[in-house]
């Protein structure tokens, strides 16, 4: 049995976890900073980095205590090295390097989004691969072909806003607060999803990339008007609910269609979904219905592992460590996303 300590600080959650053999979660401590950022309507990088400095040591200690282990019991330390906010990543990486040096533990870098893509495997010794993985959160919207823990192929991703980012921005337009996803989800239940025909960008295009900025702009124009027809009076309740429901329907239709297409076209019979937006009731219902209709098995990651957490870092880190994928102490954070080539019209090679 091998115990891995995972550390995650890529955005605004400070998290540490102890996971045995890549799936058995012994502890998963998550300290959210949402209250610190709410008044600004989004994550402020400097505030996030400072809060990580304050939290990282107590969070790691708590994760070890909750799992009833000591540093000497660990086999390796897994660290999310990107993508994310560089100041936030630096805090987690510095802590992980220090622990690695002091306790003689191998340092295992783990890609944050690949960890989301494999998070559905946590909690069970039977991994669901091969599968198509949809990662849909505030910072990422990506499709992966996961053939195994060490064979994760990025198929496509968003070229502008992530789906969760679009939810948050629409929530801001409708004055629903931050983070807005859950509020839009709630308001959408009271509206008509067919009231407004919002764009479903690239829904029928034969590639695996997404774009949500056009949808967001369409909502802006619908809510406030354009040019000299700018609206200043507040929207009535019915219109707000219809905008929320129609926006969510456009977003969900696109995510579901592209995910199901990615699986059926490649002859893959399992779909897994992770990331904060996987909590969305419309998305869960849409994916469940579409996967049932196509005979696809659907694994929705449990909510506690959907939002940012270190258990998913330790889980994937175990497999990387076993494959000898360790880093030197001068490893640096990778803040940016690796983007595939922009899709051309027609079929991708």
Positions touching ligand KG4 (CB under 6 A) are 11, 137-139, 164, 167-168, 179-182, 185, 275-277, 279-280, 307-308
Token code pair at residue 281: 């009731």
Minimum CB separation of residue 119 from ligand KG4 in Å reads 10
Q: Quick one: 116 or 261, whose CB is closer to ligand KG4?
A: 116
| 319 cis-preceded (ω within 30 degrees of 0) | no
Helix (H) or strand (E) holding 108: strand 107-111
**Which CB sits closer to ligand KG4, 313 or 326?**
313
Q: Shortest approach of ligand KG4 to residue 294 CB, angstroms?
A: 24
Closest CB to ligand KG4 among residues 58, 177: 177
CB of 233 to ligand KG4, least distance (A): 27
By a kind-dependent CB cut-off of 5 to 8 A, residue 14 interacts, out of ligand KG4, Zn ion, none, with none
Give residue 129's Cα distance to chain centre.
19
Q: Which two tokens stand for residue 15?
A: 């998290």
Q: Which residues contact 229 (CB under 8 A, 6 or more apart)?
A: none
CB of 51 to Zn ion, least distance (A): 17
Choice between 117 and 241, CB closer to Zn ion:
117
- Which option in Zn ion, ligand KG4, none does residue 8 bind, with CB closer than 5 to 8 A by kind? none
Binding partner selected for residue 242 from ligand KG4, Zn ion, none, CB under the kind-specific 5 to 8 Å limit: none
How would you classify the pairing of strands 297-300 and 270-274? parallel
Q: Which of 36, 119, 35, 103 is nearest to 64 (CA)?
A: 103
* Nearest CA-CA partner of 209 in 36, 340, 69, 120: 340
- Going through 137-292 in order, the beta strands assigned E by DSSP cover 141-148, 151-157, 270-274
First vs last C-alpha separation in the chain: 42
Among candidates 150, 32, 7, 152, which has minimal Cα distance to 89?
Answer: 7
3-state helix, strand, coil split of the chain in percent (to 5) is 45, 20, 35
Measured from the CB atom, is 147 or 189 closer to ligand KG4? 189
Q: How far is the CB of 167 from Zn ion (least distance, A)?
A: 14
Select 30 or 291, whichever has its Cβ closest to Zn ion: 30
Choose the contact partner of 193 out of Zn ion, ligand KG4, none; CB within 5 to 8 A by kind. none
Give the shortest CB-18-to-Zn ion separation in angstroms.
Answer: 20
What does 81 bind: Zn ion, ligand KG4, none (CB cut-off 5 to 8 Å by kind)?
none
Q: Is 290 left (phi over 0), alpha (psi -120 to 50) or beta?
A: alpha
User: Which helix H or strand E contains 266, and what residues bound it?
Assistant: helix 237-266
With CB under 5 to 8 Å by kind, the binding choice for 182 among Zn ion, ligand KG4, none is: ligand KG4
**138 contact, one of Zn ion, ligand KG4, none, CB 5-8 Å limit per kind:** ligand KG4
Kindly list the residues in this chain that would bind Zn ion in the complex (CB under 5 A): 137, 308
Give the residue with the Cβ less far from ligand KG4, 138 or 333: 138
CA distances from 248 to 192, 243, 244, 300 (A): 10, 8, 6, 19
Tally of CB atoms within 10 A around 223:
17
Measured from the CB of residue 304, what is the shortest distance to ligand KG4 in angstroms? 11
Nearer to ligand KG4 among residue 74 and residue 215 (C-beta) = 215
CB of residue 102 to ligand KG4, shortest distance in Å: 29
């Amino acid at each position: 049995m091998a115990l891995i300590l995972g550390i995650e600080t890529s955005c605004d959650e400070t998290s540490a976890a102890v996971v045995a053999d890549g799936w058995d979660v012994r502890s998963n401590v998550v300290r959210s900073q949402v209250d610190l950022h709410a008044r600004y309507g989004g994550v402020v990088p400097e505030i996030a980095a400072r809060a990580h400095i304050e939290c990282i040591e107590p969070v790691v200690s708590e994760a070890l205590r909750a799992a009833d282990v000591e540093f000497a019991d660990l086999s390796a330390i897994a660290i999310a090295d990107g993508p994310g906010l560089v100041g936030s990543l630096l805090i987690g990486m510095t802590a992980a390097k220090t622990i690695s040096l002091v306790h003689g533990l191998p340092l295992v870098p783990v890609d944050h989004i690949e960890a989301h893509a494999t998070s559905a495997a946590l909690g069970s010794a039977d991994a669901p691969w091969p599968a198509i993985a949809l990662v849909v959160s505030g910072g990422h919207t990506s499709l992966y072909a996961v053939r195994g823990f060490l064979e994760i192929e990025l198929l496509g991703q968003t070229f502008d806003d992530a789906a969760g980012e679009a939810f948050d921005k629409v929530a801001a337009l409708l004055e629903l607060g931050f983070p807005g996803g859950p509020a839009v989800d709630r308001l959408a239940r009271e509206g008509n999803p067919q009231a407004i025909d919002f764009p479903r960008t690239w829904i029928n295009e034969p590639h695996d990339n997404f774009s949500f900025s056009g949808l967001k702009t369409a909502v802006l124009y619908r809510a406030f008007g354009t040019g000299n027809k700018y609206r200043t009076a507040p929207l009535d309740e019915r219109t707000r609910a219809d905008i929320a429901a129609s926006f969510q329907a456009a977003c969900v239709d696109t995510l579901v269609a592209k995910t199901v297409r990615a699986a059926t076209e490649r002859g893959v019979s399992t779909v897994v979904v992770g990331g904060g937006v996987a909590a969305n009731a419309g998305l869960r219902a849409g994916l469940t219905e579409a996967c049932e209709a196509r005979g696809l098995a659907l694994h929705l990651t449990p909510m506690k592992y959907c939002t940012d957490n270190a258990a998913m870092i330790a889980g994937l880190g175990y497999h990387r460590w076993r494959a000898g994928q360790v880093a030197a102490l001068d490893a640096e954070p990778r803040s940016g996303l690796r983007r595939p080539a922009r899709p051309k019209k027609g079929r991708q090679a």
